[in-house]
Structures are given as C-alpha cells and as structure tokens.
C-alpha cells in the first residue's frame, strides 16, 4: 500500500478521533498533519508499521497531549486523550466507522454545503482545491466556507458525536450528498478510483441501515449503473472513451441488473427524488442495446424533473441535442456560456462536439482547445487532443 493510499484510508479516522476527544477541529487537523509528516519522514527508513492507522493515531495523540499541556487544560481532558487508542471508538447504532464519521460531521446546525464540504475534508482528506472543484466554486470561496464552518462548530459548542438513531434522518440528505461527491471524485479521475469502491460500500451499508429511505437506494443504484461501465471507460492509451463508443458487451450486466432492480424497488415507494431520477437516466443508458437505441427524449424529460443546476442544464442540453439535432443542442449550450459554467471544461467540450456534428470543424477545433486548457485529468486531455486532431484534418 502506498503512502497516498494510507493517507486516504486513515486520515478521516485519525482526525475524527482527535476531534471527538479534544473538541478542537483545528488542533485535530494540525496534529494529524504532523503525524503524517512524521510518517513520511520515518517510514522510508523504518518501514511501514503493520497497523499504520494505530501508529498515526498514537503519534497525533501525543502531539495533542503536548498542546493540551502547554495550554494547561484540565487533568480529566488530558487523561481522556492519553487513554485514546486507534480502537477506542465507543459503540453506536451506525455499524461502520466511516459512515459514523459522515453522520457526525453532517450536523444540521451547519449549512448543507458546509456539512458536505467538511465531511469530504475530514472523511476522505480531499484538499480544498478538490472540494472547490466538486462545488464549481473558486478555491478561496471554499476555503472561507470551511473556516467559517469550523469556527461555528467551535464557538457554538456543537458536539462532535453520532446522533441517536431517531435523529439520523435529518442528516441523511447531507450524507447522501457526501457519498455522491465521493463517488464522482473517484469516477472522474482514474488515480482516485478507489473512492468509487468506498462510496459504493458505504452506500450499501446505508441502504441496510435505512431500508425505508428510497433516495439511499436510488443513490446506490446510480453508482452501480455508472460503475458497471468502468472497464470500458478508458482506451489502452489512457484516453477517455465516450459512452457511444464503449464496448457494451464488456459492461458488468449483473451489476446493471442489480442497479435496475434497486431503482425499481425505490420508485415503487412513490417518493421520487433527485438520486432516483439520475439513476433512471443512468438506466436508460445502461439498458440500451446500442448507442443508437438510447431513448434520448426520455432522458431529456428526466433531466427536466431535476433541480435545474448549471450542470443539469448542460446535461439536459446534450440530451435535447441528441434527440432533436445538434443545432438545437448548440443553441442551448451557447445560452449557458455566460453563466456559472464559465471555466467548466465540459461546457466548451460539449459545444465542440455539437460543432463537430454540424461539420463546423474550425470552430470545433477552437472549442476543443479551450476545453483542453480547462480539463482536470489526463484521460480527458488525451480524449480532447484526439478530437482536436480529427477537427484539424
């Protein structure tokens, strides 16, 4: 296991344990950072411990003890921190460490975006840059939001603990949002693909924990339907392969069946929500025998049922363009150009694709160049470079 993998796996546990015992968010993150820095310095010579999480927690705990002594905190608090170990989590109704962390971070006193951002930071160790990209906001904006949220937790004395079972539903929407963004972070970047598996695992646990929550089942269905295509999404050279060009015989059809069954069961409850609608869109793609069989009018209609965020508006424009022709899609995409998607690489990439379909190749090449400057992964850049080269022929 690489150091980065250990970081992604253990960061959330170390930070959460320190926050629970010290009640100080900033101290917990600082001590965790010092522990990982010490590991980076010592492990190349000493070797990775058999239980790296225990080593990191103990090192971070010792840093916290030193700080608390300097600040002359009470003897009882010092004893609590000194007694802490990697395995000292108390029992809870939530049956998994990381799922407990999500419900703990998603306190209803915080704004929804703050809950989700803090959980991504604490649980997965995502950087402020990565979280800002997920929310389509500048890094400075997200940094201020995270700082304000931490200050509110500390100044208001919000307890860092898992709520009792009857209070879990009020935190469920934020937990679902965290799982959704966690999955997307891994799905959009092959280097972070481990996050997709972790998101699916946690979503399965959530469905078991809350079997009467249709949106939890809808989210799991959405993940499974997308993940069923994972082995066909990249070409041998690492370039992205678009949906219409993927080898559908290589999709995981057992997983597709599971996703469709989950979605059908959720929809029968008569409480459709955004994750169920998105899963229905994914099911339209996953169950089409060929790209030409895709029911684009149905997909466009489903997008119209979702909250019309800028990204949803772009996806709906694509669906309408596929159903009614590239000229119609291009007009809709160009209407979005002056909005909040300015600087989002998929906007010029989509515009370029419609221009290519209209045989307006010089304009398409210009749009592909713009998308290239904004793309965030190597797979996307390789794909856009190929499209650009085709437009120049």
The DSSP H or E segment spanning 199 is helix 194-209
Q: Is the pLDDT of residue 81 over 50?
A: yes
Residue in 93, 145, 139 with CA at minimum distance from that of residue 119: 145
Query: Which residue(s) pair with 240 in the sheet?
Result: 234
Give the whole-number percent of the chain exceeding pLDDT 90.
Answer: 51
pLDDT at 77 over 60: no
Its sign, for the CA torsion 180, 340, 190, 233, is: positive
Long-range contacts for 185-190 (Cβ within 8 Å, ≥24 apart)?
A: 185/124, 185/126, 185/130, 185/134, 187/226, 187/227, 187/230, 188/376, 188/377, 189/376, 189/377, 190/234, 190/238, 190/377, 190/379
Long-range own/partner contacts, residues 319-325 (CB < 8 A, 24 or more apart): 320/296, 321/354, 322/294, 322/296, 323/296, 323/297, 323/299
Over range 130-145, report the average pLDDT. 86
Q: In this structure, are residues 7 and 125 in contact, taking their beta carbons and an 8 Å threshold?
A: yes
Residue 145 tokens read as: 């939001």
Give me 119's structure tokens. 């959980």
pTM over 0.95: no
209 vs 372, higher pLDDT: 372
- Residue with structure tokens 């996703």? 259
In angstroms, the CA 264 to CA 281 distance is 13
* pLDDT surpassing 90 at residue 327: yes
CA atoms within 13 A on the CB side of 50: 0
* Residue 117 near residue 102, CB atoms below 8 Å: no
Higher pLDDT, 232 or 123: 232
> What is the enclosing helix (H) or strand (E) of 302?
helix 296-304
- One DSSP character per residue, 42-76 reads HHHHH---SSHHHHHHHHHHHHHHHHHHHTT--HH
Q: Is the pLDDT of residue 249 over 70?
A: yes
* Average pLDDT rounded to a whole number, residues 135-150: 86
Number of other CB atoms surrounding residue 5 within 10 Å: 11
| Distance between CA atoms of residues 272 and 266, nearest Å | 8
pLDDT of amino acid 95: 57
What pLDDT was estimated at residue 295? 97
pLDDT band at 91 (very low <50, low <70, confident <90, very high): very low
Residue range 309-322: average pLDDT?
Answer: 96
270-309 pLDDT, tens digit per residue, is: 999 999 999 999 999 999 999 999 999 999 999 999 999 9
pLDDT digits (tens, 9 = 90+) for 156-208: 666 666 677 788 888 899 899 989 988 988 787 665 667 788 889 889 989 98
Average pLDDT score over the chain: 86
The CA–CA distances, whole Å, from 73 to 64, 66, 80, 112, 120 equal 11, 11, 12, 33, 30
């Amino acid at each position: 296991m690489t150091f980065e993998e250990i970081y992604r796996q253990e960061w959330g546990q170390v930070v959460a344990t320190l926050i629970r015992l010290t009640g100080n968010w900033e101290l917990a993150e600082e001590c965790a950072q010092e522990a990982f820095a010490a590991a980076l310095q010592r492990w190349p010579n000493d070797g990775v411990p058999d239980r790296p999480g225990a080593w990191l927690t103990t090192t971070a705990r010792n840093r916290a003890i030193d700080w608390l002594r300097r600040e002359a905190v009470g003897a009882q608090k010092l004893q609590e921190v000194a007694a802490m170990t990697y395995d000292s989590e108390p029992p809870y109704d939530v049956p998994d460490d990381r799922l407990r962390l999500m419900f703990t971070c998603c306190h209803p006193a915080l704004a929804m975006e703050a809950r989700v951002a803090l959980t991504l930071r604490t649980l997965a160790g995502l950087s402020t840059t990565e979280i800002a990209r997920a929310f389509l906001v500048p890094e400075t904006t997200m940094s201020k939001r995270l700082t304000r949220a931490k200050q509110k937790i500390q100044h208001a004395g919000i307890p860092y603990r898992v709520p009792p079972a009857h209070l879990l539903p009020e935190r469920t929407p934020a937990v679902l949002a965290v799982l959704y963004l966690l999955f997307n972070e891994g799905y959009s970047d092959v280097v972070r693909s481990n996050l997709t598996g972790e998101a699916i695992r946690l979503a399965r646990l959530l469905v078991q924990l809350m079997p009467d929550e249709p949106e939890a089942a809808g989210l799991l269905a959405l993940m499974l339907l997308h993940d069923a295509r994972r082995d066909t999404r990249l070409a041998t050279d690492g370039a992205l392969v678009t949906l219409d060009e993927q080898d559908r015989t290589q999709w995981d059809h057992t997983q597709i069946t599971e996703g469709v069954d989950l979605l059908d069961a959720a929809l029968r409850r008569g409480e459709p929500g955004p994750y169920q609608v998105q899963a229905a869109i994914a099911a339209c793609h996953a169950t089409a025998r060929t790209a030409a069989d895709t029911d684009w009018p149905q997909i466009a209609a489903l997008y119209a049922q979702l909250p019309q965020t800028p990204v949803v508006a772009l996806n709906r424009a694509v669906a309408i363009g596929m159903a009614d022709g590239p000229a119609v899609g291009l007009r809709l995409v160009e209407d979005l150009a002056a909005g909040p998607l300015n600087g989002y690489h998929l906007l010029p990439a989509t515009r370029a694709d419609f221009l290519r379909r209209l045989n307006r190749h010089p304009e398409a090449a210009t749009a592909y160049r713009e998308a290239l400057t904004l793309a965030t992964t190597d797979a996307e850049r390789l794909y856009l470079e190929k499209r650009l080269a085709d437009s120049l022929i």
